[in-house]
Structure 1
Amino acid sequence: ITQHKHQHKMLQQLVYYLPQDTIFTRIKCLPTLNVLKRTFILYTGQQYKMKDLSQPFASGYKPSEVEQGWYPWWESRGFFRKHGASKKFVMVLPPPNITGHLHLGHALTCAVQDAIARWHQLQGDEVVWVPGCDHAGIATQAVVERYLWATQGVTKHQLGRERFVNEVWKWKEEKGTVILDQLKRLGASLDWDKFVFTMDKHMSEAVTAAFIQLYDSGLLYRKKSLVNWCCSLQSAISDIEVDHVYLTGPTELNIPGYEKPVTFGMMYDFAYRVNNSGVVKVTPGHSQEDFDVGQRHNLQQLTVFDEKGKLTDIVPEFKNLPRFAARQAVIEALTEMRLYHGSKPHPMMVPRCSRTHDIIEPLLKPQWFIRCSDMAAKAIDVVQKGELHIYPETYKKTWNEWLENDIDWCVSRQLWWGHQIPAYCVTSEDGEFWVAARSRDDAKSKVAEKEGISESSIVSVCQDEDVLDTWFSSALFPFAAFGWPRHTDCLEHLYPTTLLETGHDILFFWVARMVMLGLHLTQELPFKGVLLHGLLCDAQGHKMSKSRGNVIDPIDVIEGASLKVLKDRITSSGKNGTLSSEETSQALQKQTSNFPNGIPECGADALRFTLCSYNFKNKLLSVDVNSIEQNKFLGNKIWQTVRFLLASMEKVPNGIECASRVNITQRSADLSTMDKWIMSHLAQLVHNANQNFVTYDLHHITLGFVTFWQNHLCDTYLESIKPVLNEGSCEARSSALSTLWTCVDVGLHILSPFMPFLTEELYQRLPRYAKKCESIMQCDHPKTEEFMCWNDQELEESVNHLLLVAAAFRAIKATYNITHSRVHGSFVCLNSHLNTVLVENLEVVKKLGRIASLTAIDKNTSPPTSSSASTTCDSTIVYLHLKGVIDPKQELVRLRKKMSKVQKEETKITSIITAPGYIERSPAHIQDTHQRKLASLRAQLEQLLFIVQNLEKM
């Protein structure tokens, strides 16, 4: 460990929790490695042993028990890395910010990317999925400043730059460790040996190299320009970090540094000293429009505010007044001069800093800019030529619109946390020169050579104190992560990457810039495809935010959290400065309504499966915790299916021989109709999965799996074969078991990219007649061509008719409130082929229809007396024999009461829609609701009348 060049990364991995029965030898961490200021335990000796499955199969699915222990085993066995394959699949994880813990948006990215990565691994590809974290300059500095003020009562200026940056590094170590733990708890199959932090040494080298290359090629320049200035941060911020808040009228807003709220949404009228002069206000130093006017007319650029938001000595009578306090002073001065004409409400858009909620001021500052026009044109061209694919394609239009209207990119930020700009101000006897360089000495020699001056004439060399925009280093991520600008084996072998998956909201701010810089600096596209997902909202469609109290920590979904725990965390965030007092109050109020019963324990698998079940290509995705819990119940159904299979195999002689896909192929001639039916659906499941993984439509795969496992396998096939397994011949039982084992085995392989923990546990518990892979991760994904021989649409249609007949019997039983199975049925089928299918599968219809016996009768035979008929099945009439099963008199009383109730509802709706003026007053959607309700009630009355008339004849 001490010789490993990435000691810190190794520690972050080793800190990951391990089960209590781990067989490693424990030693204390060396002091030189104790980077998190606490004692670490390193695990040495043997490799991590596979989870002990010798205990009896639990009666129910418990995610916390199932998910424990598998990840460290996968990692120790190197299952996340597969080298030497002819085909590669390379992807980088969009590095999460170290501002705090991951939320469900990050979990969505992780779940989608991991499912795709695991599928490619099961295809036999060499998969490299690179993890990382982003230093997030502005966001991290802002949150650490608030934290230090809330916990220590100090500001960054009191600490000084060096001590403050050290505090940020401490924050990074703590939060970074938590983020890595969260990713592992989610089951992310990342290649941890390639972990990258955007402030790592090799990333700093890449940032310096990129900056200098851009400068030397004439694409980087320095000029004084208007920027989005946050007075609280005392830094420029990017457009994406500005929230534009629309105010309809007078609104009080809390502004950092002001004790009382400040009123916005007002228009102030005043007159100029000279009437009819034609003079208008022009402020080139504080408005982009006026700045453009000033450039055209060569106007003086006056700056009224300083960096702290106080008035400058340009207006000596108001000097040093905070900007919003100065507003009132100006009004008073205008009033004394009789030039103030009052104020009135006025709708307006207010720009606020997303980090501090301060009001953003346009401010003139010397900044570094990148010329983007040529690079933007190339980025447009590669998409138009089909060299870069964007999914979904609807974002191609957005891509073109953004890049066609590009403006030069301001890359400098007035912060302390980040990559200090590798540019130097070189002062000589001949003047002052700015140059991009690797060091002071390099800067001196470059200026001397360029300007033709002697190095001895240089008086001073000072590095720019500003840092680079976080998006600059992030834009280098897909190639710097592999060693660029050095020509490493990784860079040669793994770059360009295959796919970038990320949120559509950063298509321009990150994706486009990666493409521009990738093409310019490496002469290659950084990736071949871009897959964009939507933004997560809560169940009510509200955007997730801390102040709304609806942000969800994935670990809370995995482990469960009571309302008290959730509220305590919000309170703690308020105390440590992460949330303002206003945000804390709002969050506590809304959290009760959002999670009145807390968050139930669902497990990582259910969370992953749910997130992949949404059509994540939509712009907005509404996540409901109840949906996640439902997929935990799906996990339990899968668990119970495997338990049933294992128990059934123990009852059949040589049942282990059924545990092979070869076995079912050999038995194909002996399979029953239902065996072949479920195998046909299995073939479609495999085809659906492979087809939709290629197009990244994961929601089709999850829906197909649920339909197959719940509806086809459990609700239908399992129920149909229970009589066979209990009373059938040895051959029939073996055929049914071979079929069931194959469906379970293949189903688990289809499910494994979405639910890796559950499928690994069940895979290891499944008996196998043939040789078994060490892990389900090492198996081949089921191939479409392997199973399409079972696809039989004609058979499916026949069995579907059989299932309709069974459903008709259940429906009649429900109509007459019959809950037991001691009833007899019969049917008349006018289609000879379907009649044959029904006759050959009477036991199946009996079992699924929940009746005691079933007979086929001739179409010329009179219907059974005292029976109820259903004609819902095409070409088939079913009869349920009711004699001795129900009391017609009692049933008539019950049904007539029900009819009376339905009739009253029908009369009420009818009176509403026939009332005068209804059509004119009622919205279209209300009228539509009433019409559908009326149609439903009349259908119920018709059905009830039919049943009553039938009972009256008994």
Structure 2
Amino acid sequence: MLQNLKPNYLNSCLYNSSCVLARSTVLSTIHSYSKRGLDVGYKPALVESNNRNVGKNQRQPSNEKRFSMLLPPPNITGELHLGHALTCTIQDALIRWNEKHDLQCLWLPGMDHAGIATQVVVEKNLQKAKKLSRYDLGKDKFLREVWNWKDEKATGIKRNLNELGAHMNWEHEYFTMDEHQSRAVKEAFIRLFEANLIYRDKSLVNWSCALESAISDIEVDNLEINGPTAIEVPGYREKVIFGEMVDVAYKIRGTQEEIIVSTTRPETLLGDVAVAVNPMDGRYSHLKGRSIMLWHPVRQEEIPLIFDESVDPEFGTGAVKITPAHDRYDYDMALKYQLPIVNVITSKGNIEQNFGLFSELPRYNARAKMLNFLANESLLRGTRPHSMVLPICSRSKDIVEFLLKPQWFVRCQNMAQKAKHAVETGELCIIPKVFENEWFRWLDNCHDWCISRQLWWGHQIPAYEVQYGQTSSWIAARSLEEAQQKAQAMHDSAECKVAQDTDVLDTWFSSSLLPFSSLGWPEDTTKLRRYYPLDLMETGHDILFFWVARMVMLGQQLTGRLPFNKVLLHGIICDEFGRKMSKSLGNVIKPEHVIKGASLQQLNKEAESLHQQGILSSAELKKSLSGQRKMFSDGIPECGTDALRFTLCSSNVKNHFINFNVQECHTNKLFFNKIWQATRYTLGCIDRFSVVPSGHLSKDELTEMDRWILSRLSSTIETTQKAMEGFNFHLVTAAWKVFFHNNFCDVYLESTKAHMSSDNASIATNHCLVLQHCLVIGLHNLKIFTPFLAAELLSHLPVVPDLRINYREWTDPALETAIEQLLEICQSIRQAKNECCPPVARKHNPVLHLLPKSESLSNLFQLHIKNIEQLTQCNGVILHTAEDSFANTTFTCQSSATHECNFGIVTDSQVLKAVASRNKKLVKLISELDKLLSIVGSDGYRKSAKASVQQKHLEKIDQLKLQIKEMQNM
């Protein structure tokens, strides 16, 4: 399409005396714009302020069909980020699209209490602001602080969502710890417990010592390090070195032999209960068949050598230490060979008691002491660089430990197979389909789900320990009173003690109930019957297992139905270089930065505020400020909400990663200004010709350009329909950008100027109707992405009586092909004119000569002579029917537009002579200036020339520079 043909039609009309639309006409048209109240340019902040209520469709849908969806609840940890904006924009576009098709829509909003994340951020804030820990406050006061935090942040989040133009059903808003959600969580836990799907057991879990809590896999970041690397660890003044492999010798009892094991965690040597080798490893074959015992140098006791085929003989020396209390593989080995389990590290990250000189030391201080101990005992065989993956808690930045703790678990295997079967049979559709493999991989290897957390903030687990004599057992109940009744029934009304577990539930547990709990479950509500299951679950692919799969598993188990039939997964927002956005990198862009704009100073101030709150360390702050200077040296320009939404959906959201470029956002703002100016032009024309809005257009009365733009409109609507059905939002935004920018503004609107005069009143009136129709219909389609812009412009445009016109009847592929050919030729001509003709000659609109080589093209040219003149900005078009007349013409430049068309451009010879004369004089002046500069720049001149002579030369240099500048600007 005609990408580079972008005349500024208002300027060309005002300042180009040869333009068909006279200057006086345009001035009167602009005057009529102001009467209608449409500003001279697009100002996002003003438009959004005027149209803040662009929310719910006020018209009551007549369609009985419904569409329901749930907003993945933002965490109450702070403000919205671009990932939230992407989710919100996609879902809002889907809601608006379905409302446009007369469906009854329900879009459920809510917020998540985000147990660990919220507790961490409130603790950091308390520590920074008041120098207090949660233990200083106590549980009750600390929880009041969290609820205050929630109230403050929830207000801001709701405001941010509204600013994004999201029109959710706020009357159905929920919070994952409100009264109803609490009741639903208890009911779900009890039902699963009574179905023997929840149990309590002692097992290895991811443990954050800084939080003193178990954490989920999604809260573990794996840091790859190559060789010795100093890492900051919470609670340690100095950085801790990781990435070293330590070789330690275990003496074989009764011999002079030793077995060397390799470890990256020498402090865990305290908990070694065995050493294992592969039975096929020839280095240890002489020890097979014997009861070999090794001596533990710290605990002063024997541990066995065992042979197991799972040991990798290629790792280190082929001998591995078995520490079952702190390693998953080792734990399985201990169960297999009935080995004892020795706990080494406490929940706070210190060494357990009864380890002599190592007792109660912080774990990494114990590491250094262990290396000294081994060296003194002549058991240290060396230390070498080693590449490894270090698990880090994403919330606390602590190094994750594997600790053996009593926890609550959900049995997942049977539920996982049902969830897998739903996708295999097509009952549940995952989009894009590529994520089905990820779905199957997760569910085939689905371990039991640890749902307990050792926090203060969250749903306290509705499980009660019943102590009866010397025995204890666990029951699930909705309250202490119900638990006591159940306990007494179990023990024939005997005296027993009942106490609720102090742990809270994993946040994912409560959020996994949302598709039905947000609709009133466990009660049988009208809303639940009407809108469950949801029609679509739209979210990021990074939580496909942690949230989506668990919603499916619990939904099938607790309601007997899938919670939704389709899952749409979008990618992760990255910066323009493909890097994940991170506060520490300084590349985080918040929605409000893009909407309102932000200076570099403002961005720096926000980073410093995060440091003051304890969220960023000093090192991270320094890195963040450096990153901001590199990426946003001029700040972030104001783009507005619509430009943000449009840009987010201009990428294929189904890709794994979505690179966000602020400059693209600003470009889209300028694109919207182009539509704005087109609307002003249209309103002026409608006023001038007193056009009455009409829902009817007659093909017989329209020009080819009228019919062409209506065909392009029809094609764009059809593209939109197909793309929206496939969730290909980028194809929709691209289609409307081509239509409005290239087809409507740059071509059709320009072509209408040739007839906007009283001499062509009939044609001009039809042009006005077509302009109006294209804008109204186009904006009604575009508003799913740009609700504020559409609302503002549509409020000024006449109402089209019937928007539901069958636009397919206007589709004309042959006409589109013909006009496309014409536009390509015009583009080639315009490009050649810009390259070959001096600017001064281009301003005098040269004459265009065309030589078509086919009858069809000749007919096309004859029909569109005025359009060609307008689109190429030439001062006339001469159509040649014979090659001789074309060949005998002297051209300023000559070329071929296509194999079917030659063209030439003739400019005023007097203008060209003047240009040549000017250029000749300009060369002479520049040469004179260079010569004079060379003279005054020499050392001899500065030493020997008189001061008066030097002054005259400087004055002459200034005069030459001024004269050259004036001539260059001619």
TM over 0.5: yes
Over residues 495-539 of structure 1, what are the superposed CA-to-partner deviations in whole Å (9 max), with x where a residue is unaligned? 111111100000000000000000100011111110000001101
CA distance in 2, matches of 1:426, 1:759: 63
Q: Residue 65 of structure 1 is aligned with which of 46, 50, 67?
A: 46
Q: What SS class does the counterpart of residue 757 from structure 2 fall into?
A: helix
Given the alignment of the two structures, is residue 880 of structure 1 paired with residue 888 of structure 2, yes or no? no
Over residues 308-359 of structure 1, what are the superposed CA-to-partner deviations in whole Å (9 max), with x where a residue is unaligned? 0111124132111100011111122222212122311111111110011100
Q: What SS class does the counterpart of residue 267 from structure 1 fall into?
A: strand
Aligned residue for 2:695? Answer: 661
Q: What SS class does the counterpart of residue 89 from structure 2 fall into?
A: helix
CA distance in 2, matches of 1:242, 1:498: 32
Structure 1 counterpart of 2:473, one-letter code:
F
Q: What SS class does the counterpart of residue 539 from structure 1 fall into?
A: coil
Residue segments in structure 2 that go unaligned for 5+ positions in a row: 1-33, 259-291, 295-304, 306-319, 924-970
Q: Residue 394 of structure 2 is aligned with which of 354, 370, 378?
A: 354
Residue segments in structure 1 that go unaligned for 5+ positions in a row: 1-52, 772-779, 899-954
Ranked by relative contact order (alpha carbons within 8 Å, sequence separation 6 or more), the top structure is: 2
Structure 2 counterpart of 1:582, one-letter code:
A
CA distance in 2, matches of 1:765, 1:677: 25
Q: What SS class does the counterpart of residue 225 from structure 1 fall into?
A: strand
Over residues 531-552 of structure 1, what are the superposed CA-to-partner deviations in whole Å (9 max), with x where a residue is unaligned? 0000011011110011111111
Aligned residue for 2:424? Answer: 384
Q: Residue 557 of structure 1 is aligned with which of 594, 603, 626?
A: 594
Aligned residue for 1:516? Answer: 553
CA distance in 1, matches of 2:503, 2:538: 31
Alpha-carbon spacing, 1:428–1:841, altered in 2? closer, same or farther (3 Å): same
Aligned residue for 2:436? Answer: 396
Over residues 143-202 of structure 1, what are the superposed CA-to-partner deviations in whole Å (9 max), with x where a residue is unaligned? 111111111111111111111111111111111111111000000011100111100110
Alignment of structure 1 residues 805-844 onto 2, 5 Å: 805-817=825-837, 818-844=841-867
Structure 1 counterpart of 2:47, one-letter code:
V
Alpha-carbon spacing, 1:80–1:542, altered in 2? closer, same or farther (3 Å): farther
Q: Give, in angstroms, the shift of residue 441 of structure 1.
A: 2.9
Q: Give, in angstroms, the shift of residue 691 of structure 1.
A: 1.3
Contact 2:695–2:800 (Cα < 8 Å) also in 1 = no
Q: What SS class does the counterpart of residue 639 from structure 1 fall into?
A: helix
Alignment of structure 1 residues 444-459 onto 2, 5 Å: 444-449=484-489, 451=490, 453-458=491-496
CA distance in 1, matches of 2:486, 2:332: 34
CA distance in 2, matches of 1:542, 1:409: 31
Q: Give, in angstroms, the shift of residue 661 of structure 1.
A: 2.6
Over residues 246-285 of structure 1, what are the superposed CA-to-partner deviations in whole Å (9 max), with x where a residue is unaligned? 1100000111000111111111122123334574521111
Aligned residue for 1:583? Answer: 620
Alpha-carbon spacing, 1:728–1:478, altered in 2? closer, same or farther (3 Å): farther
Alpha-carbon spacing, 1:788–1:770, altered in 2? closer, same or farther (3 Å): closer
Given the alignment of the two structures, is residue 500 of structure 1 paired with residue 523 of structure 2, yes or no? no
Over residues 861-888 of structure 1, what are the superposed CA-to-partner deviations in whole Å (9 max), with x where a residue is unaligned? 3324212432222422222234626648
Q: What SS class does the counterpart of residue 595 from structure 2 fall into?
A: helix
Q: Give, in angstroms, the shift of residue 80 of structure 1.
A: 7.1
Structure 1 counterpart of 2:590, one-letter code:
D
Q: What SS class does the counterpart of residue 395 from structure 2 fall into?
A: coil
Q: CA RMSD in A?
A: 2.1
Q: Give, in angstroms, the shift of residue 483 of structure 1.
A: 0.7
CA distance in 1, matches of 2:355, 2:251: 17
Aligned residue for 1:87? Answer: 65
Q: Give, in angstroms, the shift of residue 645 of structure 1.
A: 0.5
Aligned residue for 1:751? Answer: 782
Q: What SS class does the counterpart of residue 536 from structure 2 fall into?
A: strand
Aligned residue for 2:653? Answer: 616
Structure 2 counterpart of 1:216, one-letter code:
E
Q: Residue 824 of structure 2 is aligned with which of 804, 820, 830?
A: 804
Over residues 660-710 of structure 1, what are the superposed CA-to-partner deviations in whole Å (9 max), with x where a residue is unaligned? 332x2xx32110111111111000111111111111100000000010001
Q: Residue 412 of structure 1 is aligned with which of 452, 457, 471?
A: 452
Aligned residue for 1:845? Answer: 868
Over residues 92-150 of structure 1, what are the superposed CA-to-partner deviations in whole Å (9 max), with x where a residue is unaligned? 00001111111111101011110111011111011110111100111111111111111
Contact 1:805–1:845 (Cα < 8 Å) also in 2 = no
Alpha-carbon spacing, 1:673–1:55, altered in 2? closer, same or farther (3 Å): closer
CA distance in 1, matches of 2:62, 2:334: 62
Q: Which moved more, 1:464-473 or 1:550-559?
A: 550-559
Q: Residue 372 of structure 1 is aligned with which of 412, 422, 426?
A: 412
Alpha-carbon spacing, 1:344–1:893, altered in 2? closer, same or farther (3 Å): farther
Over residues 720-773 of structure 1, what are the superposed CA-to-partner deviations in whole Å (9 max), with x where a residue is unaligned? 1111113651111111111111111111111110000110011111123648xx
Q: What SS class does the counterpart of residue 535 from structure 2 fall into?
A: strand
Q: Residue 812 of structure 2 is aligned with which of 782, 792, 795?
A: 792
Q: Give, in angstroms, the shift of residue 798 of structure 1.
A: 1.6
Q: What SS class does the counterpart of residue 632 from structure 1 fall into?
A: helix
CA distance in 1, matches of 2:631, 2:914: 50
Moved over 6 A (4+): 888-895
The size of the alignment, in residue pairs, is 822
Alpha-carbon spacing, 1:325–1:430, altered in 2? closer, same or farther (3 Å): closer
Structure 1 counterpart of 2:129, one-letter code:
T
Alignment of structure 1 residues 279-290 onto 2, 5 Å: 279=305, 281-290=321-330
Given the alignment of the two structures, is residue 859 of structure 1 paired with residue 878 of structure 2, yes or no? no
Given the alignment of the two structures, is residue 717 of structure 1 paired with residue 748 of structure 2, yes or no? yes
Given the alignment of the two structures, is residue 870 of structure 1 paired with residue 902 of structure 2, yes or no? no
Q: What SS class does the counterpart of residue 251 from structure 2 fall into?
A: coil
Aligned residue for 2:310? Answer: none
Q: What SS class does the counterpart of residue 837 from structure 1 fall into?
A: helix
Q: What SS class does the counterpart of residue 638 from structure 1 fall into?
A: helix
CA distance in 2, matches of 1:404, 1:745: 52
Structure 2 counterpart of 1:389, one-letter code:
C
Q: Which moved more, 1:113-122 or 1:327-336?
A: 327-336
Aligned residue for 1:475? Answer: 512
Contact 2:83–2:572 (Cα < 8 Å) also in 1 = yes
TM-score (norm 1): 0.84
Alpha-carbon spacing, 1:549–1:649, altered in 2? closer, same or farther (3 Å): same
Structure 1 counterpart of 2:729, one-letter code:
L
Aligned residue for 1:40? Answer: none
Aligned residue for 1:129? Answer: 107
Q: Give, in angstroms, the shift of residue 859 of structure 1.
A: 2.7
Q: What SS class does the counterpart of residue 349 from structure 2 fall into?
A: coil
Given the alignment of the two structures, is residue 641 of structure 1 paired with residue 682 of structure 2, yes or no? no
Q: Give, in angstroms, the shift of residue 74 of structure 1.
A: 4.5
Q: Give, in angstroms, the shift of residue 891 of structure 1.
A: 7.0
Q: What SS class does the counterpart of residue 245 from structure 1 fall into?
A: strand
Q: Give, in angstroms, the shift of residue 440 of structure 1.
A: 2.3
Q: Give, in angstroms, the shift of residue 821 of structure 1.
A: 4.4
Aligned residue for 2:477? Answer: 437
Aligned residue for 2:37? Answer: 56
Q: What SS class does the counterpart of residue 416 from structure 2 fall into?
A: helix
Identity %: 41
